[in-house]
Structure 1
Amino acid sequence: MKQLKLTAFVFFLFFFTESLTLPTKPQDVDDFRTTQKFIEENIEYITIIAFAQHVQEATFEDMEILVKDMVEYKDRCMANKTLPECFKLPNNVLQEKICAMEGLPQKHNFSHCCSKVDFERRPCFFFNKKADVGFLPPFPTLDPEEKCQAFKNSRKSFLNHYIYEVARRNPFVFAPTLLSVAARFEEVAKTCCEEQHKVSCFQTRAAPVIQYLKAFSSYQKNVCGAYWKFGTKVLNFINIAVLSQKFPKIEFKELTSLIEDVSSKYDGCCEGDVIQCIRDTSKVMNHICSKQDSISSKIKECCEKKIPERGECIINSNKDDRPKDLREAKFTDSENICQERDIDPDNFFAEFTYEYSRNHPDLSIPELLRIANVYKDLLSNCCNTENPPGCYRHAKDKFNETTEKSHKIVQRECAHFQHLGKNGLKYYYLIRLTKTAPQLSTEELISLGEKMVMALTTCCTLSEEFACVDNWVDLVLGELCGINENRTINPAVDHCCKTNFAFRRHCFEGLKADKTYMPPPTTKDLFTFNADLCQAQNEELQRKKDRFLVNLVKLKHELTDEELQSLFKSFTQAMEKCCNAEDPETCFNEEGPKIGS
């Protein structure tokens, strides 16, 4: 695989003539040719991603059949672009071929999607994806020597397997991100397979790749969840806040033009249309680089890079310097605000968000959206009074109150981190999350707990503590709420997830244990331990402890946090005692019932 980075493409499959806007400018033509070559070299990887994300249960052998079929299809269309089948949209072609695979739709329960066509079939495939991948076997791990031997024997087969396994476990991650992950992992394998200490090399070098995947996965799921549940308007405001902070010198008119390209890409990316996602993402990068003088002074070197590298470079570039002509005051001091709002409300509040965001680089994206909500509500009230300017002149006080409330939430969370330590913090959140959303699977709750801990341990020691924590925890809540607009957990959680995107963090802060939850019947299995516990090491042992705690909370939902902590402490003490005993099995048979009672 060629070295790939995020958002690294312009167009996909030039032979699909109806789905393309042909390039006209010299730079567009050059980009177009470069991408054509890239696609020809990587068509197999892209097909693997699309198939593995659509049909997560499908075997690697199933996938190989589809890849062969798609490559043959590509070759036919390259040889003769006038064939009727070559005028179809690529995503439709792919889904048609998946549906045509003998027995596959029936075996994996997506026949209902195959009975639909084109634009009706797309969302069906999307809503068929499963975020909780507990039904899949554990990610296959090889001894580093075996891994390197497989890599040396066939780099192509090795990467095919890797992309397949990663894509099916990350069904909502955008294709460019997965391609970048695969390219990064290929570099890790190349380096580590030449090292003497392969184990430590893979552990050290693979960690940032995994973190990269997790970070982009969280962000993409969060934004797509907002898009599906709240529509384009909320998506636009998220992007206005993000881009205004990153590119504070951009003019508002230029920003609105860029927002059109940025927001339109989520249609294909969130729906899982790999081709459309790649094409639209690339369009955004072309837009930014074509207007870089008026957008940012920090991306010149990025835009000089080749197409496969410049996208990630732009995303990772530093925020530009703030200009001196910030005009935030006009939204609180002007006498004619109500009249300006009434001319075009959407544009008016978009401009307010733009000005406030670029003037407050210290605030999180969710906080900027909260301020925009507060301002909108304030004007709704003020513009109906006898003296609107006298009313909205105090807007800054309202903004400060909102931010102060958000700051206090973060301060409390960081205080938990300081007092409890890493493990204590995880147990605190496992109890809290399980009480709030006990309907979620044990593995999903553990994953959410780990991400909360990662957010606080990473952010609570930074100078930009507030923005870091608030941004990151909001992503965790986005994962809890899920992408699917039809996802239901329980009435209280559903209310927080679906009522107001900007204030869901504040909403979750007030949630208590779910009163609608009916615990499973008491089972002795939870308190039946055996000597196998003593064989578990490090991560495996920690995972067993985490599972016990989550299942304990689900079973004893009515107990206080302190009582649950005490029970969990009894479990860990019993485990330590029995694993040091001469006969661990007998010890566990005696201690288990004591905990259960």
Structure 2
Amino acid sequence: MKQLKLTGFVIFLFFLTECLSLPTKPQDVDDFNIIQKFIEDNVGYITIITFAQYVQEASFEEVEMLAKTMTEYRDQCLANSKLPQCSKLPNDALQEAICAMEGVPQKHNFSYCCNKGGFERRLCFFRNKKADVGFLPPLPTLDPEVKCQAYKNNSESFLSNYIYEVSRRNPFVFTPTLLTVMGLIEEMAKTCCEEQDKANCFRIKAVPVIQYLKAFSSFQKNVCGAFLRFGPTVLKSIYIAIFSQKFPKTEFEELTSILEDVSSKYDGCCEGDAVQCIRGRSKLMSHICSKQDSISSKIKECCEKKIPERGECIIQSKDDKPKDLSLKEEKFTENKNVCEERNADQDTFMAKFLYEYSRRHQELSTPELLRIARVYDDLLRECCNAENPPDCYSTMENKFNETTEKSLKIVQRECEHFQNLGKDDLKYHYFIKFTKIAPQLSTDELTFLGEEMVTALLTCCTLSEEFACVDNLVDLVIGEICGVNGNRTINPAVDHCCKTNFAFRRHCFEALEADKTYVPPSASQGLFTFHTDLCQAHNEELQRKKDRFLVNLVKLKPELTDEELRSSLTGFTNLVDKCCKAEGPEACFNEEDSDSSHNVSE
């Protein structure tokens, strides 16, 4: 495969960006130059990520075609920068080039986006991204020897193709994160290709890379979903809670200036604008690293790392709570002037409350801190209209404790499921639960959600910080259900939970029952037709088939009880066992098919 010649294209993009926002302070100039150098060293990969995320169906060869087109475009603009087409924003220029590719918009069915312009087109491209990637073929698996030979022959081409495949399957992951993943893949290839047992090396080293990608993917999708559905206020609240917990000695004024950079970062990252995302992330991390003394002593090593590892390291850091920080901040519950201060600047007042409460309660989850803030805001509305406001809001701490107690009980019930059920039964419990409340989701999505729920409980239910860990991770599972796009709809009950109140959507989901609007398919669609391929399936593949059988059975017969569904799954397992041991497996399956269909239809 030809090595991509994409350097000119991204330099051109940054030529445009520089014209729009040149740095002014000496340190800003240094940071700008470092980021510029980083981009120039990674231009091909950045372009591949952007294109593959916007048009997931596009082939790698089409990416190469786009690169050639953009290189010619760059040459025109370098020759005459006053041409009308040379004043476009980088992401607009890229999308126009995609739309101009002969036959590609029609082939991949996004012509309707190309008929729009400006913000509307950018939004359309964003909404063209598909979270459920079941339409793509499985990620190609190569023999380790073949993989290593390809890497040694042309490492750039190998990594380009790999990041293309990963990006199209993770359309909402931020570009800096995918570049970090690519770095980990390169490190893995370098190490494992020198090992004698290459297959085992790849298998072991791939696990943390996959976990890393999944963790950041879930978090970024969740936050972007909140940002795009509820706006910058909710995004700001999420980050006040996160930063105040992680770096509790940071002053509120410093935190406020950091949050200004967060908003600009998410505008680009959530939309899929790679150029703006990299610049926004780098600007934010540079800001944090320039104020280490007032933010945290724990980030010194992070700030010495290169882009983008620096940002990932800071995000995962956490400082200790100052010893002189009292458990309560009485000015929010015992100050007679609370209502006057609130009314003077409600947004700043609530931000200060969330900041003070979060830095004092590192044991709580981010969603729980947002719930407390919402409870406080709602009760202040009542109290500030009461005859004696101080008497009213002096009992706030009791309300906070009640809210946390309710959330804690939900987590305790989930961890009881973990303790009382085996791993498989726990998974089946959530397959059934999620399929009943959201049967409109694809089978792949539902099995993924169930597995993510089990991972959350396996990870958290034995830890001392059980509550925060479970609540944070389950909130990410809910984020997967609600999706990133604000226009995603599943069914009225689920949509209500996703769109009404970000802080309390966990409580809302907990109360959901089976979807009453759902109409099951009239035919079993081959659910009870079995073949000898089940006998050739390896353990993991056979388990996936069992998982899919259960989810599809719930979709077909949502009125069945959990016990009846489990019984049918056991029957399926026993049938596979019996027929695969028989002299004529196919005849055995044919004989049992009609009985299975008849039993379930009764």
Residue 541 of structure 1, CA deviation: 1.0
Does the aligned pair in 2 maintain the 1:445–1:550 contact within 8 Å? Answer: yes
For 1:15, what is the secondary structure of its paired residue?
helix
Deviations along 1:446-484, whole A, 9 cap, x unmatched?
Answer: 111111111111111111111010000000100101111
Please identify, of 79-88 and 537-546, the stretch whose mean Cα deviation from structure 2 is larger.
79-88
Query: How has the CA–CA distance of structure 1 residues 496 and 366 changed in structure 2, closer, same or farther, with 3 Å as cutoff?
Result: same
Q: Which residue of 2 aligns with 1:302?
A: 302
Q: Distance in 1 between matches of 2:312 and 2:39?
A: 18
Q: Which residue of 2 aligns with 1:192?
A: 192
Does the aligned pair in 2 maintain the 1:12–1:36 contact within 8 Å? Answer: no
Residue 73 of structure 1, CA deviation: 4.3
Please show how residues 213-228 of structure 1 align to structure 2 within 5 Å.
213-228=213-228
The residue type paired with residue 476 of structure 1 is V
The residue type paired with residue 442 of structure 1 is T
Deviations along 1:143-176, whole A, 9 cap, x unmatched?
Answer: 1111111111111111111111111111111111
For 1:385, what is the secondary structure of its paired residue?
coil
Q: Distance in 1 between matches of 2:557 and 2:147?
A: 44
For 1:522, what is the secondary structure of its paired residue?
coil
Does the aligned pair in 2 maintain the 1:12–1:278 contact within 8 Å? Answer: no
For 1:130, what is the secondary structure of its paired residue?
coil
The residue type paired with residue 243 of structure 1 is F
Q: Which residue of 2 aligns with 1:500?
A: 501
Does the aligned pair in 2 maintain the 1:12–1:35 contact within 8 Å? Answer: no
The residue type paired with residue 247 of structure 2 is F
Deviations along 1:291-340, whole A, 9 cap, x unmatched?
Answer: 11111111122223344432222122233433524562211111111111
Tell which has more relative contact order, 1 or 2 (C-alpha 8 A, sep 6+).
1
Does the aligned pair in 2 maintain the 1:297–1:320 contact within 8 Å? Answer: no
Q: Which residue of 2 aligns with 1:114?
A: 114
Residue 519 of structure 1, CA deviation: 0.4
Q: Which residue of 1 aligns with 2:4?
A: none
Q: Which residue of 1 aligns with 2:135?
A: 135
The residue type paired with residue 522 of structure 1 is A
Q: Distance in 2 between matches of 1:193 and 1:352?
A: 53
For 2:95, what is the secondary structure of its paired residue?
helix
Q: Distance in 1 between matches of 2:459 and 2:430?
A: 16
Query: Are 1:412 and 2:413 matched, yes or no?
Result: yes
Residue 524 of structure 1, CA deviation: 6.5
Please identify, of 328-337 and 524-533, the stretch whose mean Cα deviation from structure 2 is larger.
524-533
The residue type paired with residue 195 of structure 2 is E
Does the aligned pair in 1 maintain the 2:114–2:121 contact within 8 Å? Answer: yes
Residue 369 of structure 1, CA deviation: 0.3
Does the aligned pair in 1 maintain the 2:172–2:270 contact within 8 Å? Answer: yes
Normalised by the size of structure 2, how large is the TM-score?
0.94
Residue 69 of structure 1, CA deviation: 2.9
Does the aligned pair in 2 maintain the 1:416–1:425 contact within 8 Å? Answer: yes
The residue type paired with residue 443 of structure 1 is D
Q: Distance in 1 between matches of 2:406 and 2:238?
A: 21
The residue type paired with residue 425 of structure 1 is L
Does the aligned pair in 2 maintain the 1:47–1:70 contact within 8 Å? Answer: no
Q: Distance in 1 between matches of 2:17 and 2:314?
A: 30
Q: Distance in 2 between matches of 1:493 and 1:19?
A: 45
Q: Which residue of 2 aligns with 1:482?
A: 483
Does the aligned pair in 1 maintain the 2:173–2:217 contact within 8 Å? Answer: yes
Q: Which residue of 1 aligns with 2:66?
A: 66
Residue 78 of structure 1, CA deviation: 6.1
Residue 23 of structure 1, CA deviation: 2.4
Q: Which residue of 1 aligns with 2:182?
A: 182
The residue type paired with residue 198 of structure 2 is K
Normalised by the size of structure 1, how large is the TM-score?
0.95
- Identical amino acids, percent of aligned pairs: 71
Residue 120 of structure 1, CA deviation: 2.2
For 2:514, what is the secondary structure of its paired residue?
coil
Does the aligned pair in 1 maintain the 2:56–2:168 contact within 8 Å? Answer: yes
Q: Which residue of 2 aligns with 1:204?
A: 204
The residue type paired with residue 576 of structure 2 is M
Q: Distance in 2 between matches of 1:306 and 1:526?
A: 52
Query: How has the CA–CA distance of structure 1 residues 504 and 17 changed in structure 2, closer, same or farther, with 3 Å as cutoff?
Result: closer
Q: Which residue of 1 aligns with 2:23?
A: 23
Q: Distance in 1 between matches of 2:92 and 2:320?
A: 41
Q: Distance in 1 between matches of 2:298 and 2:17?
A: 36
Please identify, of 74-83 and 386-395, the stretch whose mean Cα deviation from structure 2 is larger.
74-83
Query: How has the CA–CA distance of structure 1 residues 156 and 18 changed in structure 2, closer, same or farther, with 3 Å as cutoff?
Result: closer
Please show how residues 555-566 of structure 1 align to structure 2 within 5 Å.
555-566=556-567
**RMSD value over aligned CA atoms?**
1.7
The residue type paired with residue 41 of structure 1 is D
Q: Which residue of 2 aligns with 1:540?
A: 541
For 1:58, what is the secondary structure of its paired residue?
coil
Please identify, of 475-484 and 77-86, the stretch whose mean Cα deviation from structure 2 is larger.
77-86
Q: Distance in 1 between matches of 2:484 and 2:589?
A: 42
Q: Which residue of 2 aligns with 1:269?
A: 269
Please show how residues 78-477 of structure 1 align to structure 2 within 5 Å.
85-322=85-322, 324-326=324-326, 328-477=329-478
Query: How has the CA–CA distance of structure 1 residues 180 and 106 changed in structure 2, closer, same or farther, with 3 Å as cutoff?
Result: same
Q: Which residue of 1 aligns with 2:590?
A: 589
Does the aligned pair in 2 maintain the 1:15–1:86 contact within 8 Å? Answer: no
Q: Distance in 2 between matches of 1:190 and 1:76?
A: 39
Query: How has the CA–CA distance of structure 1 residues 19 and 236 changed in structure 2, closer, same or farther, with 3 Å as cutoff?
Result: farther
Deviations along 1:172-202, whole A, 9 cap, x unmatched?
Answer: 1111111111111111011101101111111
For 1:298, what is the secondary structure of its paired residue?
helix
Number of corresponding residues = 587
Residue 82 of structure 1, CA deviation: 5.8
Q: Distance in 2 between matches of 1:196 and 1:339?
A: 72
Q: Distance in 1 between matches of 2:586 and 2:17?
A: 69
Runs of 4+ in structure 1 off by over 6 angstroms are: none
Residue 79 of structure 1, CA deviation: 7.1
Query: Are 1:571 and 2:572 matched, yes or no?
Result: yes
The residue type paired with residue 409 of structure 2 is K
For 1:299, what is the secondary structure of its paired residue?
helix
The residue type paired with residue 246 of structure 1 is K
Q: Distance in 2 between matches of 1:66 and 1:522?
A: 45
Please identify, of 203-212 and 581-590, the stretch whose mean Cα deviation from structure 2 is larger.
581-590
Residue 75 of structure 1, CA deviation: 5.9
Q: Distance in 2 between matches of 1:489 and 1:431?
A: 17
Does the aligned pair in 1 maintain the 2:35–2:279 contact within 8 Å? Answer: no
The residue type paired with residue 235 of structure 1 is L
Q: Distance in 2 between matches of 1:82 and 1:303?
A: 40
The residue type paired with residue 58 of structure 1 is A
Q: Which residue of 2 aligns with 1:3?
A: none
For 1:16, what is the secondary structure of its paired residue?
helix
Q: Which residue of 2 aligns with 1:509?
A: 510
5+ unaligned residues in a row in structure 2: which ranges?
A: 1-10
Query: How has the CA–CA distance of structure 1 residues 234 and 349 changed in structure 2, closer, same or farther, with 3 Å as cutoff?
Result: same
For 2:526, what is the secondary structure of its paired residue?
helix
Does the aligned pair in 1 maintain the 2:368–2:404 contact within 8 Å? Answer: yes
Residue 127 of structure 1, CA deviation: 0.9
Please identify, of 211-220 and 302-311, the stretch whose mean Cα deviation from structure 2 is larger.
302-311
For 2:522, what is the secondary structure of its paired residue?
coil
Query: How has the CA–CA distance of structure 1 residues 19 and 262 changed in structure 2, closer, same or farther, with 3 Å as cutoff?
Result: farther
Query: How has the CA–CA distance of structure 1 residues 25 and 565 changed in structure 2, closer, same or farther, with 3 Å as cutoff?
Result: same
The residue type paired with residue 526 of structure 1 is L
Query: How has the CA–CA distance of structure 1 residues 307 and 442 changed in structure 2, closer, same or farther, with 3 Å as cutoff?
Result: closer
Residue 61 of structure 1, CA deviation: 0.7
Does the aligned pair in 1 maintain the 2:415–2:457 contact within 8 Å? Answer: yes
Residue 107 of structure 1, CA deviation: 1.3
Residue 523 of structure 1, CA deviation: 2.3
Query: Are 1:522 and 2:523 matched, yes or no?
Result: yes
Query: Are 1:34 and 2:56 matched, yes or no?
Result: no
For 2:139, what is the secondary structure of its paired residue?
coil
Q: Which residue of 1 aligns with 2:3?
A: none
Deviations along 1:119-151, whole A, 9 cap, x unmatched?
Answer: 221101111111111111111111111111111
